Structure 1
């Protein structure tokens, strides 16, 4: 039977199709609509977000009007809470700060010229200024954070001994500014073999980031050639630093976990002493910032809450490193420490093609089977002496491999 081609039948068929289309269109669509492109006009129409209370440049409502005095410790987290200084640990307990100041500048010291780096809002600074005035002749603080400066500048108005350099100690130009302002003109140069400098002293809270470690690495590197403050003599340095950094600085060859390039350079250039440890525990009772979460006692990280201690670092009178060979030391230690768990005889070729020929000459002082991290400072001195005398030693001792260039703080810190 054939369907009729009459106009009425065509109309019926069209109506039937229309009904089907309406039925389908009534169902919810599963297609995802294309997102409208955001334009600059949309941003212009949006209301501006209010600054978070306590941001870097905004005064917190709990801040005291008289900033010669610091706010209560329980307010520090709100008043000084902003990202740029979350890695900046500083003393917050005034009684602890008094004890540390007495430890760093004890009775018997006179006319000290002290450079204090990373003072934070100045709890330790206040304690240093509170010592008997004959002990400290001048206190030069290096601080760039605006909110911390708010609590330091009023002190300078009250005590002429305090000099503020509003720049970070992570840039060597900051120390140039200290000298350009004549703040060290009255510091005498003291003979290297005449003992520790009787007047000049460096004090610092050390940031817990890699930049803090790089800073102390570069400072130690400046000792053999007597640059920086060491041009005045053997200047004593006091640090408040994390136990993690301290273990890396002082690790012996037996400490396989913490022994590193920094340990070798530190042992070769300076003497290290812990001055206060138990008195600074637990962390939360003495330092800012305080963790909301439970503090950790693990040493293998740079997190806030790792135990801190007060230490003293003094340049050695007799330096193992010849200033003229400092680049050679850098080159050899960096190259070989890439494979620090490998025996010397298997990785000495990393110093250059043909370096295997040095093994017979080194055998008198170093067992070729000694793994790199077990080599002592005296053995490093022998290795570097033989490498320097080797006719085929590379003439370009620069290290361009980014994986190797993580020691010494190149870039923001690199100067000497």
Structure 2
């Protein structure tokens, strides 16, 4: 960041006092729209410190779901080279004129607000003709990208968790933002979503998303400021997610996802009872496994699930159209 820009950013306007947010920023508690944003300067500055921007001032940030922009402001003041704030929330846009849009106008182009869908803005952001990421070049996958970071405040909803899950899958396939390299992520997420992402084998929260996350990235819970630091007041925690140099999946993504979806429909049952959901005759795979197949599905490690998926992929009689077969099984269970 230039010597001219730094003092100018020091004059960025403060956002309204947190006591006024419920009046000024009309969020929605409707299902699927539980947008939660960092509200206090204290929490925003703590998160920015965790990102270590001060020691890497050539960093471009893509921020998903910035809300009024408290974290955006902190990252700009903390030394980010450029911030692309991706926000299209209908419930926010009018009220954001006293928040993030004002920050954009005052930031001398350090902050740019993009009215795009935060769930999938990457075609637009990566379009060479738009030049939205000046100076950001693709980097080899053997190290974490030094000039680009993805951050966000994930909605407290199934939609929000789906956005995060799709990011993890994209990192495995090196799609979207990950076409530029091994981009680290800092995400504020609701505590229950965090518990599901990092749940240990045998714990109630462990599900197929846990396994896909474990296969895709190193996930480290960082700070948990408390409800009073967020609008709306939910218990959110900051995660650091760094894609693995090599994903911990030994089969195709399609096969692994099919196995996880099938087996975790009855995660409290033993594998030898549930494996038939992979297809007629799939119990023949049990004799090919190196571990005790009496184990309950929820106790399976990623290594054991990789073994199941690999044996399934090598099975000559496995279903050839996996997801049509899954739909048929789910329809039978509902009946």
Q: Give TM class, smaller chain.
A: 0.7 to 0.9
Equivalent positions of 1:201-212 (< 5 A) are 201-212=149-160
Q: State the partner residue of 2:306.
A: 381
**Which of 72, 76, 86 is the aligned partner of 2:17?**
72
**Which of 53, 75, 84 is the aligned partner of 1:128?**
75
Distance 1:240 1:131 in 2: 18
1:311-352 deviation digits (Å, cap 9, x = unpaired): 100011132225x70000111110111111111111111101
Q: State the partner residue of 1:401.
A: 327
**Which of 144, 160, 175 is the aligned partner of 1:227?**
175
Q: State the partner residue of 2:215.
A: 268
Contact 1:113 1:200 in 2 (8 A): yes
1:82 deviation in Å? 4.5
2:197 matched to 1:249? yes
**Which of 145, 155, 180 is the aligned partner of 2:103?**
155
Question: With structure 1 as the length reference, what TM-score do the two structures score?
Answer: 0.70
Q: What is the alpha-carbon root mean square deviation over aligned residues?
A: 2.1
**Which of 44, 54, 57 is the aligned partner of 1:107?**
54
Secondary structure of the structure 2 residue equivalent to 1:115: strand
2:252 matched to 1:325? yes
Q: State the partner residue of 1:239.
A: 187
Distance 1:369 1:178 in 2: 49
Secondary structure of the structure 2 residue equivalent to 1:164: strand
Distance 2:87 2:191 in 1: 24
Distance 1:403 1:161 in 2: 52
Contact 2:76 2:82 in 1 (8 A): no
2:201 matched to 1:258? no
Q: State the partner residue of 1:361.
A: 288
Secondary structure of the structure 1 residue equivalent to 2:266: coil
Of 144-153 and 216-225, more deviation after overlay is shown by 144-153
Contact 2:26 2:95 in 1 (8 A): no
Aligned length: 310
Give structure 1 stretches of 5+ with no counterpart.
1-66, 291-304, 406-416
Distance 2:18 2:294 in 1: 54
Distance 2:193 2:126 in 1: 29
1:277-325 deviation digits (Å, cap 9, x = unpaired): 2xx02x12x11124xxxxxxxxxxxxxx3x2111100011132225x70
Distance 1:203 1:382 in 2: 34
2:92 matched to 1:167? no
Q: State the partner residue of 2:4.
A: none
1:241 deviation in Å? 1.1
Secondary structure of the structure 2 residue equivalent to 1:239: strand
1:92 deviation in Å? 1.0
Distance 1:82 1:351 in 2: 43
Identify, as 1 or 2, the structure richer in helix.
2
